[in-house]
Amino acid sequence: MSKFLSSPVSFTNTDNPADCEVAGSDDHDDQVGHLQQARDAKRQIGVVSATFLIVNRVIGTGIFATPGSILALSGSVGLSLFMWVAGMLIAAAGTAVYMEFGTAIPQNGGEKNYLEYVFRKPKFLTTGLYTGYVVLLGWASGNSVIFGEYILNAAQVEVDRWNQRGIGLACITAAFLIHGTALKWGIRLQNVLGTIKVIVILIIVVAGWVALAGHLKLPEDQRPHNFANAFEGTTGSAYGVVTALYNVIWSYIGYSNANYALSETKNPIRTLKIAAPLAIGVISVLYMLVNIAYFAAVSKEEILEARRLVAASLFRNVFGGAAERALSVFVALSAFGNVLSVIFSQGRLVQELGREGVLPFSRFWASNRPFNAPLAGLFEHWVVSVIIMLAPPPGDAYDFILNLISYPLAIVNAFVAAGLIYLYLNRKSWNWNPPISAGLPVVIFFFLSNIYLVVAPFVPPDDGQNIYQTLPYWIHCVVGFGIIFAGGVYWLLWAILLPKIGKYQLVRETVVDDIDGWERNVFFRRPLEDSASNAALAVSIQ
């Protein structure tokens, strides 16, 4: 195991080390045993729950809502399917990278821990940048919007800007209240909805087989023949390809979801080894089969027209109108399961920043009161998600949210992969020997993929390929960098200017919580007089 897993924390304090060994050894052992029991009691996530944490996060509405956009950007059925294969490979590489980091640092926090471990200079800059990324992105907003759209479609009510978002607001508010007041029931509900969405996907796959067998409720002249000339209409623009990839990657976001709750996971290394590849492997196969089902049952023209309701079109063509409405309800439940999973993990990231003393009013954000759940952290993510959900103009809301979330994620993943490459090249000096190794070729592939996803969206689109109706094509790139830049501004205030004004030094120490036994990094303000005294004492001892 890596060197950073050892803790510098001492549980006893005495002037005589011999007394500590003789008289205090039993007390020390009792305290260590108590902390271990407390730590184990907090671990409620097993292999099944960890698998569903990933499944619920990944399978949201992407596989139901994005195939139409991907087809429009690719131009052909063949290239559209290749986009899904490329996204699958990127997701598999990302899963391997996060498994290596997760088994090396099995603690809550995910990529925050990994970036802080590798990128240490300028001091605490990584923490500041990541804080902006976590606090200012409303991950749960996109699937809340789709929840509203599919519920209205099931009710046969015309979708407009406000009824869709009103239902979406109810969706995210329910998820916030469930996870903020009833943690165990929230996890159980996630597992149930995860099971339902897998069943729905299996039904779609079977519907595709029915369509391939020729059993469609369509006249012969309206039946799709999408595989006859699969690459007809292919476009090769960089903007179209990369934006289509963003739609695919949006559908795979969540392969790192179990990494955010490893402190709450039973036997985290073994659990992650099983849960992550199992979840992503099953999802990848199902995604490809679902896309084949879409193209078998729905014509290219109808997919382009239906856009986010292509799954509903499939059920109508195979089973009839009543089945279309039923499918819309199940897709909405899938979206709700994803919102539950997203707000579960994001609330814990905000809480972790509070527990470490990074955020203002840290005790408020770190609290588990009054329901033994991170209610304050969940509330912060609820507020940001609601703002992002309500702000964009009608027509562009879902696409803007999708790209706004995917773009900063590509930046973060590029740095995560770069950090792992650096550790590989300096393995001995960093004592980097985790239980799982992704392998240098896989990490390089993941790094280059994310660099492409960061750079390519700045290439202007061809006429008619801008995914937005009214917004400029580069808007999500600028806003994405703005969010990370905001984290840099916060770092400048929090770690540079305020310490100078307040005449203190910001220090990070590893502590063990005396209640739950969790080990974490915490930032403290040390007055400069104390720092000078400690330095003088160290010199005199030498």
Taking only the tens place, the pLDDT of each residue in 118-140 is 998 888 999 999 899 889 888 88
Q: Give mean pLDDT, residues 183-206.
A: 84
Q: Is 126 exposed, middle or buried (0-12, 13-18, 19+ CB in 10 A)?
A: buried
- Residue of higher predicted confidence among 281 and 223: 281
Full DSSP string of 370-384: TTTS-HHHHHHHHHH
pLDDT at 13 over 50: no
In this prediction, residue 89 carries a pLDDT of 94
Q: pLDDT at position 113, please?
A: 87
Looking from the CA of 447 toward its CB, the CA atoms found within 13 Å total 15
The arithmetic mean of pLDDT across residues 84-89, rounded, is 93
Sorted by sequence, the CB contacts under 8 Å of residue 34 that are 6+ apart come out as 517
| Chain centre distance of CA 343 | 10
Where is pLDDT greater, at 246 or 24?
246
Residue 490 has pLDDT above 90, yes or no: yes
**Residues of the chain above pLDDT 90, percent:** 26
Q: What distances in angstroms separate CA 25 from CA 9, 28, 111, 211, 502, one per listed residue?
A: 16, 5, 37, 72, 41
Residue 10 banded pLDDT, cuts 50, 70, 90: very low
pLDDT of 37 over the 60 cut: no
Tell me the three state secondary structure of residue 519: strand
Confidence of residue 38 (pLDDT cuts 50, 70, 90): low
Compute the residue count for the chain. 542
The answer to whether 345 and 53 have CB atoms below 8 angstroms apart is yes
SS3 call for 122: coil
Q: Angle at Cα 240 formed by Cα 164 and Cα 159, nearest 5°? A: 15
Q: Supply the pLDDT for residue 541.
A: 47
Taking residue 46's Cβ as centre, other Cβ atoms within 10 Å add up to 14
Mean pLDDT of the chain: 81
Q: What is the dihedral of CA 511, 516, 517, 521, to 10 degrees?
A: -30
In sequence order, the 6+-apart residues with CB closer than 8 A to the CB of 326 are 154, 315
Range 346-363 average pLDDT: 85
Per-residue confidence band for 395, with pLDDT thresholds at 50, 70 and 90: low
- Whether 5 has a pLDDT exceeding 60, the answer reads no
Domains of the chain: 45-531 (1.20.1740.10)
Nearest to 191 by CA among 38, 44, 369, 402: 44
Q: How far is CA 538 from CA 15, 156, 507, 508, in A?
A: 18, 75, 17, 19
**Averaged pLDDT, 66-87:** 89
Residue 235 zone, left/alpha/beta (φ > 0; ψ -120 to 50; rest): beta
Q: Is the pLDDT of residue 365 over 60?
A: yes
- Which DSSP state fits 461? P
For the stretch 402-452, pLDDT in tens is: 788 888 888 999 999 999 999 999 999 999 999 999 999 999 999 999 998
pLDDT at 3 over 50: no
Question: Are 353 and 131 a contacting pair, CB within 8 Å?
Answer: yes
Over residues 445-472, mean pLDDT: 83
Residue 95, H or E segment: helix 77-104
Q: What global pTM score does this model have?
A: 0.79
- What integer pLDDT is reported at residue 8 of this predicted model? 32
d(CA 446, CA 417): 7
Q: What is the pLDDT of residue 305?
A: 82
Give the SS3 label for residue 160.
Answer: coil
Contact 399, 468 (CB under 8 A): yes
CA 119 to chain centre: 21
Whether the pLDDT of residue 515 is over 90: the answer is no
Residue linked to tokens 């985290």:
268
Residue with tokens 């003789």: 22
**Which whole number is the average pLDDT over 489-506?**
92
Please give the single-letter amino acid code of residue 363: R
Tokens standing for residue 288: 């490809």
Task: Tell me how many helices (H) and strands (E) the chain has.
Answer: 24, 2
pLDDT score recorded for residue 425: 93
Of residues 94 and 516, which shows the higher confidence score? Answer: 94
Q: Residue 518: which pLDDT band, with cuts at 50, 70 and 90?
A: low
Taking alpha carbons only, the member of 407, 334, 304, 410 closest to residue 63 is 334
Residue 36 CA to residue 31 CA, distance in Å, equals 9
Q: How far is CA 27 from CA 39, 82, 326, 448, 512, in A?
A: 18, 62, 61, 53, 17
Contact 336, 175 (CB under 8 A): yes
Percent of the chain with pLDDT over 70: 86
| pLDDT, average across residues 256-282 | 87
| Average pLDDT rounded to a whole number, residues 149-178 | 86
Residue 14 has a pLDDT of 36
